[in-house]
Structure 1
């Protein structure tokens, strides 16, 4: 699951912001400016100083700064001396939405993994047979009210592999 830079910023501020004062907002502004300057720096391009993408880094700090400003405005409007995430109704709604999206993504991933595991045990094959055996297979399928593919699936389900790797199938009558 990929979160936007705003989602990441909201999560970071919510986790790190408990007990936050206005000093944190000033620190975020300084870091945002420094990151933007690094992004424009020619030495950055020449030496590949940053391991991460500088544009992503700058975007992340812009989003964090915006979130810190929102929290600061909330604190001033509410008269709080420190930030308490559980009292932040907007932040709590966003956190709940992120948790729901995360749970859905985890459930979808688990279902995908389960389908892949189940599919790993399945074998699908296209069978090209000679006209004679093909005609006999179609006749047996028609008598049983099945398709030739269904008869072949029943045949494959009865395969026995011997110790010498010989493959055999005991005689059977296809049925629904």
Structure 2
């Protein structure tokens, strides 16, 4: 759901709170080393175990972290800050809001999908094979009532009654 840049911005923003310019410089150096190491891992044979980290994703993440630490250092230098304050970082705060909006949208979509799945469990979906003459009659009724054949069958089922003697009856009704 989050890109490497999103993950880097989030973690750097959290880790950077209250750091001095010197400490940010150390983070830049560390990220540069890790970026180089992950690039080298890309050239090494790939570990095929199911628990192995994705070397490309890891390389992207460290590259993004390196870029973000450099952005923070430049911001601190230009603003004259002694320590990094994430709340004063307008660009970082905007990215955080955008990320949270995307996250909330995804959660809302998932909740709607889950609700739809719960409601679908209460529905009955059936494939009915009808003889040609019955099928033609059903399509003619559907066309004259401006309903689909499925809607006509649903209306019939809604108005059907099972009597005590086992007979099935349908009282006359106007399709809606």
Corresponding residue number in structure 2 for 1:171: 170
In structure 2, distance between residues paired with 1:76 and 1:168: 87
Deviates more, 1:8-17 or 1:23-32: 23-32
Q: CA deviation at 1:104?
A: 0.7
Count of matched residue pairs: 167
Instruction: Describe the shift of the 1:158–1:26 C-alpha distance in structure 2 as closer, same or farther (beyond 3 A).
Output: same
In structure 2, distance between residues paired with 1:93 and 1:65: 20
Preserved contact between residue 17 and residue 83 of structure 1 (Cα < 8 Å): yes
Alignment RMSD:
3.1
Q: CA deviation at 1:108?
A: 1.0
Corresponding residue number in structure 1 for 2:130: 129
Residue segments in structure 1 that go unaligned for 5+ positions in a row: none
Preserved contact between residue 140 and residue 174 of structure 1 (Cα < 8 Å): no
The answer to whether residue 37 in structure 2 is matched with residue 34 in structure 1 is: yes
Q: CA deviation at 1:118?
A: 1.7
Residue segments in structure 2 that go unaligned for 5+ positions in a row: none
Query: Normalised by the size of structure 1, how large is the TM-score?
Result: 0.77
In structure 2, distance between residues paired with 1:102 and 1:47: 31
SS at match of 2:83: coil
In structure 2, distance between residues paired with 1:174 and 1:135: 21
Instruction: Describe the shift of the 1:159–1:63 C-alpha distance in structure 2 as closer, same or farther (beyond 3 A).
Output: farther
Q: CA deviation at 1:149?
A: 3.5
Q: CA deviation at 1:158?
A: 4.9
Preserved contact between residue 141 and residue 174 of structure 1 (Cα < 8 Å): no
Q: Within 5 A, what are the aligned runs for 1:102-141? A: 102-130=103-131
Deviates more, 1:112-121 or 1:88-97: 112-121
Corresponding residue number in structure 2 for 1:96: 97
Deviates more, 1:9-18 or 1:62-71: 9-18
In structure 1, distance between residues paired with 2:131 and 2:16: 74
Corresponding residue number in structure 2 for 1:13: 12
Corresponding residue number in structure 2 for 1:65: 66
Q: CA deviation at 1:155?
A: 2.6
Deviates more, 1:30-39 or 1:150-159: 150-159
